[in-house]
Structure 1
Amino acid sequence: MFDLEQTIQDRHSTRKFLSQPVPRNLLDEALTLAQCAPSNSNIQPWRMVFAVGVRRDRLQEALLNQAKQQLPNIPPLPEAFQHYRQELGVQVYGSMGIARDDKANRTQAVLRNYEFFGAPVVGIVCMHRDLGVADAVSVGMYLETLVLCLTARGLGTCVEVSLAGYPEIIRNELNIPPELLIICGLAVGYSDPDFSANHLHISRESVEKNVRFLDY
């Protein structure tokens, strides 16, 4: 049994992993628990594909080659929300000693997304393309449950929306059928304790900014 509150506080986006392999039994334990996540009409819409070893390396090579030639197909954030990404970039790149006008190192930092930040395990999160928003919420609850279960077992994770920017490469390399929508990636491994960005505590807004009580 694990301390849920502490696990939630310990979870963070790992942006550099050790090459140390991840024991399969830890993944299996976390996946079994995550299967208990709630879902609309209990359809359990999440689908996961994991790649390690040669398959992981082939995917990395294909993604890097494409990313160096073409920007990912990811819809931009609406203008009213763009400042969140900018503020996050200031914190992450600042912790790595990369200045705002250092385009070369910023480009290299972005490309690390497609190396899965060195994680030995990469997962691809999918759901059937005919499903809707309520089912995407179910997938999100599953993914959060999985991430917390992995965190409780001493593993680092990083949810990577950037990987969904090259869906056809992922589909081809991992034999993902066309009826599955590729939502995001999940890098899994042991966090590098010497990497400064792995010790960031990204700020959160107050509960009052996101929640309202009526007549409570």
Structure 2
Amino acid sequence: MTMAMEQQHHYDLEATIRERHSTRKFHSTPVPRALLMEALSLAQCAPSNSNIQPWHLFIAEGVRRDRLKEALLAECKRAPPTVPLLPEEFKHYRQELGAKVYGSMGIAREDKQGRAVAVMRNWEFFGAPVVAIVCLHQDLGWADAMSVGMYVQTLLLGLTARGLGSCCEVSLAAYPDIIRKELGIPPELVIICGVAIGYTDFDFPANRLRVERAPVEHNVAIIDSD
């Protein structure tokens, strides 16, 4: 074994996968650039169609992150976001998740004001000091979108293994023009989502919530005979 290999970090993959969760409140503690770069370098190992590596990230920290937050909040108040619609048969997933998340925060279903305040925190990146905007070239297709998904998952696991929390935010894509303007994202890149990154505030009730998953049989069919 080489010295370089001995110095590499060793992580329990299964524990990391199970530990990863959506952080909905972060500490303001800055994220060390070295840790962030380690996770980003690991994510580059994700597979992609024809090795295109189609992911593009625009990362905002510090003053630029603050400017983006203020611009998004201002636009939110001026023009409420349009939440991507789900087909009728899938709506119950969003409703069930919302009940659990808001319930853990002590916000009742009929508390419209409380829910509205909680929703606005999406555009504050839940207090995360780092936000990454995930993009894909407009000329690429489903296979390449799958590659971006694998990249993001690898990034999330890399962050989790290094003690960092994260939250994928599809909600940020509701205001692409604001994000393009603030971060200089070219028009040929489609904004897919954001990723909030920072240290998890475990005193926040929603951060202790673990959402159960369906059994394997719900999603997988093993065909082994006629």
Structures share fold, TM-score greater than 0.5: yes
Contact persistence 1:129–1:181 (CA under 8 A): yes
Deviation for aligned residue 1:69: 2.3
Is 2:121 the partner of 1:112? yes
Q: Residue by residue, what CA displacement relative to the aligned partner does 1:113-158 show, whole Å, maximum 9, x if unpaired? A: 0000000000000010110000000000000000000000000000
- Mapped partners of 2:157, 2:27: distance in 1: 19
**Unpaired segments of 5 or more residues in structure 2?**
1-9
- Mapped partners of 1:182, 1:73: distance in 2: 15
Structure 1 pair 211/9, CA: closer, same or farther in 2 (3 Å)? same
- Mapped partners of 1:21, 1:166: distance in 2: 26
For 1:58, give the aligned amino acid. R
- Mapped partners of 2:64, 2:86: distance in 1: 32
- % of aligned pairs identical? 69
- Mapped partners of 1:64, 1:165: distance in 2: 12
Contact persistence 1:127–1:181 (CA under 8 A): yes
Q: Residue by residue, what CA displacement relative to the aligned partner does 1:63-86 show, whole Å, maximum 9, x if unpaired? A: 011112223244301111010000
Query: Could you say which residue in structure 2 is the equivalent of 1:169?
Result: 178
Query: Could you say which residue in structure 2 is the equivalent of 1:4?
Result: 13
Query: Could you say which residue in structure 1 is the equivalent of 2:96?
Result: 87
Q: Residue by residue, what CA displacement relative to the aligned partner does 1:27-83 show, whole Å, maximum 9, x if unpaired? A: 100111110000000000000000001100000001011112223244301111010
- Mapped partners of 1:59, 1:74: distance in 2: 20
Local SS of the residue matching 2:92: helix
Q: Residue by residue, what CA displacement relative to the aligned partner does 1:164-206 show, whole Å, maximum 9, x if unpaired? A: 0000000000000001000000000000011000011101111
**Unpaired segments of 5 or more residues in structure 1?**
none
TM-score by length of 1: 0.98
- Mapped partners of 1:166, 1:34: distance in 2: 26
Size of the alignment, in residue pairs? 216
Query: Could you say which residue in structure 1 is the equivalent of 2:216?
Result: 207
For residues 1-216 of structure 1, the aligned pairs below 5 Å read 1-215=10-224
* Alpha-carbon RMSD: 0.8
TM-score by length of 2: 0.94
